Amino acid sequence: MLALLAPGQGAQKPGFLAPWRDLPGVAARLRWWSALAGVDLLHLGTDADAEEIRDTARTQPLLVAAALVTAEQLPLYDVSVVAGHSVGELGAAALAGVLSPDAAVTLAGVRGREMAAACAAEPTGMSALLGGDEAEILAALADLGLHPANRNGAGQIVAAGALDALEKLAAAPPGGARIRSLPVAGAFHTPYMAPAEQALAGVAAGIAPADPQRILLSNADGAAVNHGGELLQRLVRQVTAPVRWDLCMGTLADLGVTGVIELAPAGTLTGLLKRELKDRGVPEIVNLNTPDDLPAARDLIARHGAGHTHEPTPQFHVVVAAAAGTFTPGADLAEGDTVRQGQVVGQVRTRQGPVDVTAHSAGSLTEWLAHDDDPVAPGQPLARIGGAQL
């Protein structure tokens, strides 16, 4: 099983898109998306210096555009799973078919501008904590009024909040952690970003999302999201909510992902993956940074992808688990029965309580893919709905 990952803010490097500029259609694509995002993406990706691309308003649409323009060089029909870190979720949503590429870049432009404006409202920042006792670190952050904005796994938590509180944290590191101040404009993924969330929600309300065509993991909890409308709501809420990349990596392992491609600018997420999954088995990895990496990426897809055929196949929709737990099929629902759009077809029993499994297309229950009391992982297929309207 193959996964495609889209990096978030902080992964950018000066000139990282320059090697891609001369590929057919890339420069024109970036010029068009520049008009949608309100920034010169071609300049930012090729000629701008580090200071210029550190600006949140510029960096966020740049990273989404970079993920999409590099992914377009790959045979994506064999990719089973997609995920993105922070603003990278917008790129992942487009790769899953929930958003159009144009909509993803447009939202990234709004998100970047509004988050930059929210950062300017009061002095806030972020610091990375490496190592130490997680429970002690989280307790110390709560005592200081700070937020665990990113929980990136591999022993890394990013604290965010008021600058004076971050200074107190640095003066007395909790749990034996090492602390590094991050060169960012403010406290991303915290309540300080509430004005940006509100502005993004106003624009997102005009978008009609589709349901995912691939397993799409959410930063909120690492769960696979089945519904396009739910995913769009999650993308908006993520502006003020913590990024749980640790849970996303856990889901990749639970799904049995064997191959991973990180899109340009690559290396940050696969680095975390190598450290986090070293005891569970690290997937084979390709970092797609330049066109020279395309042969290796295509070879990885050929060996780890879902397989593809040009033979005609029946149209169907696969219902997947949104969380880990134990599956219970719907009572009195048998293979061959007709199901309605939105009908509950089963439940996943989790530690937090039952989670309904719904069919988001009408059709016939062609096949149960999981059975009563089966343990299931996030993103695991549970049932196949035949004749679904895709």
In this predicted structure, the answer to whether residue 311 has a pLDDT above a threshold of 80 is no
The secondary structure element, H or E, covering residue 163 is helix 163-171
Q: Give the start-to-end residue ranges of the domains of the chain.
A: 2-118+191-304, 121-181, 316-386
State pLDDT tens for residues 138-178.
999 999 999 999 999 988 999 999 999 999 999 999 988 99
Per-residue confidence (pLDDT) for residue 164, from 0 to 100:
96
Cα–Cα distance, 380 to 196 (Å, whole number) = 34
Nearest to 239 by CA among 92, 83, 108: 108
In this predicted structure, the answer to whether residue 316 has a pLDDT above a threshold of 60 is no
Per-residue confidence (pLDDT) for residue 332, from 0 to 100:
87
Best CATH choice for the domain 2-118+191-304 from the list 2.30.40.10, 3.40.50.1820, 3.40.366.10, 2.40.240.10? 3.40.366.10
Catalytic-residue membership of 310: no
State pLDDT tens for residues 27-54.
999 999 999 999 999 999 999 999 999 9
Architecture field, domain 121-181: 2-Layer Sandwich (3.30)
What backbone phi and psi angles, to 5 degrees, belong to 146?
Answer: -95, 165
In this predicted structure, the answer to whether residue 361 has a pLDDT above a threshold of 50 is yes
Band (pLDDT 50/70/90 cuts) for residue 387 is: low
What is this structure's pTM? 0.83
Lowest mean pLDDT across 14-18, 88-92, 214-218, 312-316 = 312-316
Q: What pairs with residue 3 in β-bridges?
A: 81, 260
Per-residue confidence (pLDDT) for residue 307, from 0 to 100:
59
Is residue 284 within 8 A of residue 259, CB to CB? The reply is yes
In this predicted structure, the answer to whether residue 331 has a pLDDT above a threshold of 60 is yes
Band (pLDDT 50/70/90 cuts) for residue 376 is: confident
Catalytic-residue membership of 86: yes
Band (pLDDT 50/70/90 cuts) for residue 324 is: confident
* CATH entry 2.40.50.100 includes domain 316-386: yes
Give every strand in the sheet of 215-216, ordered side by side: 215-216, 81-84, 2-6, 259-262, 284-287
Cα–Cα distance, 266 to 268 (Å, whole number) = 6
Mean pLDDT of 240-263: 94
Per-residue confidence (pLDDT) for residue 309, from 0 to 100:
39
Is residue 283 within 8 A of residue 259, CB to CB? The reply is yes
Q: Which of 34, 80, 85, 86 is catalytic?
A: 86
Per-residue confidence (pLDDT) for residue 308, from 0 to 100:
43
Q: Which of 80, 85, 147, 189 is catalytic?
A: 189
- Give 106's contacts (C-beta < 8 A, 6+ positions apart): 36, 37, 203
Please give the mean pLDDT across all residues of the chain. Answer: 91
Task: For 90-129, give one letter per residue: b (16+ CB within 10 A) or e.
Answer: bbbbbbbbbbebebbbbbbbbbbbbbbbbbeeeebbbbbb
Per-residue confidence (pLDDT) for residue 317, from 0 to 100:
67
